[in-house]
Amino acid sequence: MKSALASLFAGLLFGIGLIVSGMANPEKVLGFLDIAGLWDPSLAFVMGGAVIVGLFAFAIARKRTLSFLGFSMRVPGQSHINKRLVIGGLLFGVGWGIAGICPGPGLVGVGAGEIKSVVFVASMVAGMGLFELIERMRAGKPAQGWSTTAQE
């Protein structure tokens, strides 16, 4: 129960932050990405602030074995750049540039009832399912069921 309430609070705080910062507004995001046209640099400050907070948060997290709520800490250990990471980043960037939406703001838009966000999130979930299917086929595992890799 404590975990669910903490997750709900963190999600609400994140969603409110996206709305207040303008990150949930696709037109504002597209204005930020339009560096050759009418560029709106205001989101650079939002992203810079997020990077600074993240640097401090990860520095603290690396020194801890338990979260502030008493759960075990799992900080990503892989730090090398490979082909899959680059391709994934390019796909993410192209999708963000076309739609002006990324996953967090997409979910905020779904909550607000925006059709564009509903289509985006449905496409994102379909892409995740397709990726899972391809990964299972590459590994020679059956394509049935949608269990996470942690359960296998």
- In tens, the pLDDT along 69-78 reads 888 887 777 7
- What's the domain count of the chain? 1
Give me the percent of the chain exceeding a pLDDT of 70.
93
- Note whether residue 58 is domain-resident: yes
- Note whether residue 114 is domain-resident: yes
Lowest mean pLDDT among 11-25, 84-98, 102-116, 137-151: 137-151
Decide: 100 and 26 in contact? Cβ < 8 Å: yes
- Break the chain down into helix, strand, coil percent, rounded to 5: 70, 0, 30
Domain span holding position 91: 2-144
- Note whether residue 56 is domain-resident: yes
Q: Which residues contact 107 (CB under 8 A, 6 or more apart)?
A: 15, 117, 121
User: Which pLDDT band, with edges at 50, 70 and 90, does 118 fall under?
Assistant: very high
Q: Bridge partners of 67? A: none
Decide: 72 and 65 in contact? Cβ < 8 Å: yes
- Note whether residue 152 is domain-resident: no
Q: Which two tokens stand for residue 147?
A: 């269990």
Average pLDDT for 55-70 = 87
This prediction has a pTM of 0.72
- Note whether residue 117 is domain-resident: yes
